[in-house]
Structures are given as structure tokens and as C-alpha cells.
Chains A and B, each alone.
Chain A
Amino acid sequence: MRKIKIIIEKCTGCEKCLPSCPFSAIRIENKKVRILDNCNLCGACIDACPFRAIVLEKEKIRVDLSSYRGVWIFAEQRKGEIMPVTYELLGVGRTLANDLGAELSVFLLGSHMKGKAEEFLNYDLEKIYLIEDPLLNSYRTDLYTQAIVDSVNLKRPEVILMGATSLGRDLAPRVATRLQTGLTADCTGLEIDKKERNLIQTRPALGGNIMARIISPRHRPQIATVRPKVMRRARPGHSKKGEIIEINPTFSQNNEAVKIITLIREEKETVDLQEAEIIVSGGRGLGKPENFSLIRKLADLLGGAVGASRAVVDAGWIQPYHQVGQTGKTVQPKLYIACGISGAIQHQVGMRTSEVIVAINKDPEAPIFNIATYGIVEDLHKFLPILIEKLEKKGKS
């Protein structure tokens, strides 16, 4: 038995559904829609409702979880280039799919993305869903949400992973809310409970002071955004066993939508923090904003990028772009040099997976020394000038 259901909270009484009904089975009462007994469940009114207040409900309210299978990875593209986090998701996604005994797929939205879709054939995965439309060329919350929700309803994956980027964190909650399912933000660990097929999601909370393990046992798909630079990236070079499947989205062009006017790039920074192999970071111990010049100089000499603690960003000494930590960026360079940073847990969360950590701080009790590969208990105002001078000499010789 199916039933047409009105989500009363969403219904505005706008009457747009009235003409769509071939059986005149809709009436407006108290500014809300009521479905009459002569409804034959044709569903014509569902598409007519601009507020998605009309749904066709199966009698069984609980979702049949077993009809959802497979792991989907969102291939985030900007200007046609695939974001690096996508390959990290493919890495962890393969493990999850294997543990579920299910397929691993990527889904890619955009226009003229066939070439990029074919590049995914080099990876260890089963399917590439290519969702193309000129309107999907650049990211727009509403259209991406609609295209993803429609594709998910069509193919029913049990797990969806997206990068916890500015785009992913704008999009995922919109998708999860429309699908009325569980979403866990900014995960740093993912595994499968094989018996229940639940995704066990681990994430930091309270500034990294605690970790929480989260599941969505009664809902599918289970959606998670994953911190960039936390998972090991998948490598290409696999037998081309994957298959490209095209999905054609249908849109009712919504002229009420958000429009992108321009993109402004501030060209000052030459090295991207999250891609840098060496990062030199400064904190409160610098004493004053001008002393960031020491950090910049050292970073330049090493060909690295400049990072910062939350304290100095909050104090306005440097642009928020440079902030490393829980509310800033997670980085994983080969070498991280922390200068005058005490190392609050919220900072550690963002850098502790760096290969080598060097900490320079005059306070021997600073928590940063707990995670430093090499700790140097010195006043940075004495230490850094000598280090810079010696490196300069070396560079010249």
C-alpha cells in the first residue's frame, strides 16, 4: 500500500499542486493541502510542489536498509580539475567497499568531464557515474544537491564520502537533509562494522580535546565528509576494469538561485599550505606581528609555506588563510617547524600527522614538545636569526 503524504511543515498553501491533479483530489483547508479519498496515487502533484511538501510514502516507514549497496566517492572538481582529496577518499573507500563486499564508485558532476572520468579508469574501482549538464559546470548548491539526490535515489549507495572542503561542507548537509539521513562532518577515521554494515565514523570535537565515534544505524545512505590530508591517497595503475555510467540529470531551472559573480584570487601566496612539503608556522611566541617576517624568511629559504596558530590569527597578526588546526587547515608536510607555538590540542589536530615536527619554544613545558620529533628549548628570537643566517650562507656556497 502506498500513500500520498503531505509534509505539513513544508506546505505553504500556495495551491500550485491543485491544477496538476487529474482527479481533483486535492483541497486546500486552513492554508494546508489535504488529499481526498479519490486520489489514485498517480504522483502528478509531487513534481508540481515547489516546496517538496508532497511525498509518496510506502507503508513501511523504516527504510529497507538492505536495498542500499556500495560505496560512492564524490569526485570534487573545480574548473575541471579534480581536487586531491578525491584520491584520498578513493583510498579509504576501497577498504570500506572491500569490508562490505560491495562496489566502489566515484560520481563526478560537471560538463565536458568525460576525459576526467576516463582518468578514473586507472584506479581500483568498479564504476564511474558521470553526471553531466552545462548547468553543473561550476558548483551551485541547489543544482548539485538536486543532481546528487536524484542519482542517489536511483542507484541507492549505502555509503557516500565527500571531502570536507568548503564545497563539500556546503553541499553535504544540504544533500543529507533532503535525503533525511545521517551525516558526520570532518571525519578523521572510517571503518566498517561488518555485521551491521554500519559505517563507524571517528571525528574530533571540542577543538580536538575529545574524539567521537558516530554511526547512523537506521538510515541509508550513511554520509561522511572527510578531512583532506588525513587518509592515504589511492595510486593509479590498475587494470581498467571500471565502467563509466552516464546519468542525465533533469533540472527545472530555478531563477531564484544563488549566482556566482566573480572569483577573486589573492596572488600573494605562492605556496599552497595544504600542498606544501615544508611548513614554517608562527604563534604567540613571536611577540608581535612584525616578527612574522622571520617566519616568512625561513619559509622562503626552505621553499615552504607559512602557517600560523589560531591565537595569532584571532589577534589579527596574519590572514586566516594561514591557520593550521581544528578550525583552520589540516596539513601533512614532510617537515613542520613550529616557532613559538605552545601546541594546544586544537593546533595539534591540524598538524600532528606531519612526517617530521620541529618545535622551537622557550617554555620546556609547552605541549608541542609532546608531539615534536625534535624539540628545541630556546628563545626563537635568538635561534631563528642564527638558523636563517646559516641557511643563507649554505645557499650561497
Chain B
Amino acid sequence: MNTIVCIKQVPDTEELQKVKIDPQTNTLIREGVPGIINPFDENAIEEALRLKEKKGGNVTVLSMGPSQAEESLRKALAMGVDGAVLLSDRLFAGSDTLATSYTLAMAIKRIGPFDLILLGKQAIDGDTAQVGPGLAEWLNLPQVTYARKIEVNENKIRVERVLEDAFEVVESPLPALVTVTKDINEPRYPSLRGLLRAKAEKIPIWAAEDLPLDKRKIGLEGSPTQVVKIFIPKPPKRGEILSGEISQVVDKLILEIEKRRTI
């Protein structure tokens, strides 16, 4: 059971408020905002490790990003994955989800045979949820999104998917690509031994020339979508504060509620 987990380094959720826009260049100022593994991707790493514990095989993590994304790969190594690869090159900069999924797909071909590809259901910075299905398309794999449970039987997986108002149980042949929700597991903390090992590990960094890429399909040129403007949403109009004795305020509120209730 060989699994490849694709992860993304994102700004820490708790620190998101600190992200500012440079009014001159219209780009994001992320300085001082620490990077973390996208939380859903941590669930994907955890799931890969659990499947490995049951079925054997190995787990490789793959990330595309600037050189500091290496920290996130080290954390994955500390959690217990067997290997990590960083895709980093200025030529990859400006990739949208199409170019990103293409680049990841080409790297996966270089990594070698696998049974399963896991990702978080989406990244918390972009929130697109597009790289998983896009990657499945480039690799011509069946995809199962929004998983909360994965069972492996022989050459098949049985997956529970979270839909808006129900759960769906599906079966897919392997190899396949699955994206996971946070319900699937509780990611482990790195062990001391893991941390020491991760520190010593050499993480290969692959650039564009290390992969059999079509240069027109990567980075800005390979990205159909263009961000033309970034702005901060308008602050809404402040409403009325109901004040006074609690029971008076309750009465005022009930009056407002009743005006709006449809019976």
C-alpha cells in the first residue's frame, strides 16, 4: 500500500487577521504570519500513516511552494512519513489550480508507482477544493472527495463521503485519489524520535527542469485564471444596540422576532 500525500503550506488560521494587502502593489503581505500544514492535509497525512500501519507499504509527501514549505514537509516526516519531496522553482510561481495540479501530476509520475493519493478536501487559504479533482484528471484516476472514512480491501477502497445532508458510501478500485475531511481522524503529534529523524533527513527539491514538463502548462503561462484585483470587503453598517434591563431587552427582541416570524 503505497500512498502519496499532497500537502500545502498555508498561513496559520489564527493569524489570518494579520494578513494585509500592500495598497501599492495589490499583493498580499504575509510576512510575520507563520506557515502551517493546511489542517485538512494533516488529516490526509494521518490517514496515510494509519493505512500504512494496517497494510504496510510507504508514505511519501509532496508539496509545491516556496523554499519555506520545507518546514511543513519536515513536520510530516516527524509525524512518520517515509519520504518527502518539495517542488520549488520560480517558474512554478503564479500557478492556478490547473497549473498546480499538472505540476503535481508530473512529479507523481517521477515518484513512481502508488496505490493511493490523498489530499485534504481543500486548502484553508484559497478554499477552492480544485487541486484534488484536477490532479485525478491529469493522472486519469477515479476520485472520491470529502471522505470521512476509508477502508482498504484487496484492490479496492470503500469510502464514506460527507454530503450536505447525508453520507454516501462508495467503492473505488485502486489506484485512486481521495480527499479527506477533518472528521476522518485526529492527526497525531510528532514523536521525539520523529522530530530528530526529520531534522536529519535530506529533502529533495525538484525544479521545473527535473520533470518532463510542458513549459506552457506551468506557472503563470499555464494558468487560465488571472487574479486582477484583491480587496478587503467593505465593512457593513453597524446596527442598533438594544440596552436596558434584561427582561425589557428580551421583550424588545421578542417583538422583533414576532414581526419576522412566518407562521
Contact = CB atoms under 8 A, between A and B. Distances in A.
Interface of A: 8-10, 50-52, 141-142, 145, 165-167, 169-174, 176-178, 180-186, 200, 204-219, 256-266, 269, 272, 274, 277-278, 302-303, 314, 320-321, 326-327, 329, 334-335, 344-346, 352, 355-358, 369-378, 382-383, 386-387, 390-391, 394
B111 interface: no
A145 B227 CA distance: 26
B172 interface: yes
Interface of B: 11, 13, 16-17, 19, 21, 28, 96-98, 101, 105-106, 109, 122, 124-134, 136-138, 140, 142-146, 158, 160-173, 176, 181-183, 212-214, 223-233, 235-236, 238-243, 246-247, 249-251, 253-254, 256-257, 260-262
B253 to A, nearest CB: 7
A177 B101 contact: yes
B243 to A, nearest CB: 7
B144 A9 contact: no
A261 B170 contact: yes
B170 A387 contact: no
B97 A211 contact: no
A214 B142 contact: no
Contacts of A356: 256, 260
Given A186-B128, A205-B127, A371-B239, 9 more contacts: A141-B142, A173-B137, A174-B137, A264-B168, A334-B262, A345-B17, A369-B239, A383-B249, A387-B250
A205 B126 CA distance: 5
- What 6 pairs across the A-B complex have the smallest Cβ distances? A182-B224, A173-B133, A177-B137, A173-B130, A185-B128, A213-B229
B166 A266 contact: yes
Contacts of A171: 133
A373 B239 contact: yes
A181 B78 CA distance: 38
A5 B261 CA distance: 63
A386 B120 CA distance: 43
B19 A377 contact: no
Name A's interface SS. mixed
Nearest to A275: B165
Contacts of A265: 165-167
Contacts, number: 253
29 contacts: A141-B142, A141-B143, A142-B142, A173-B134, A174-B133, A176-B130, A176-B134, A178-B137, A181-B224, A183-B98, A184-B225, A204-B127, A207-B16, A210-B231, A213-B229, A257-B172, A258-B171, A261-B169, A265-B165, A265-B167, A303-B261, A320-B181, A320-B182, A335-B260, A373-B239, A374-B253, A375-B239, A383-B246, A386-B246
Contacts of B262: 277, 334
B170 A260 contact: yes
A390 B146 contact: no
A204 B133 contact: no
A358 B260 CA distance: 12
B242 A375 contact: yes
B98 A211 contact: no
Contacts of B124: 207, 327
Contacts of B246: 378, 382-383, 386
Contact of B226 (A9, A172, A215, A334): A215
A278 to B, nearest CB: 7
A50 B139 CA distance: 12
A214 B226 contact: yes
A54 B16 CA distance: 45
A274 B164 contact: yes
B239 A210 contact: no
Contacts of A352: 236
A272 B165 contact: yes
Contact of B171 (A261, A263, A266, A357): A261
A206 B254 contact: no
Nearest to A183: B130
B181 to A, nearest CB: 7
B216 to A, nearest CB: 9
B243 A377 contact: yes
B226 A302 contact: no
Contact of A9 (B168, B181, B214, B254): B214
B239 A166 contact: no
Nearest to A201: B225
A169 B129 contact: yes
Most buried by A among B17, B21, B98, B251: B98
Contacts of A375: 239-242
A213 B227 contact: yes
A334 B260 contact: yes
A252 B182 CA distance: 36
Nearest to B235: A370
A58 to B, nearest CB: 16
Contact of A51 (B140, B142, B172): B140
A391 B128 CA distance: 42
Contact of B127 (A176, A274, A327, A373): A327
Nearest to A165: B164
A378 B127 CA distance: 34
Contact of B260 (A165, A213, A355): A355
B253 A211 contact: no
A362 to B, nearest CB: 12
Contact of A369 (B109, B173, B241): B241
A302 B129 CA distance: 35
Contacts of B212: 8-9
Contact of B239 (A172, A372, A383): A372
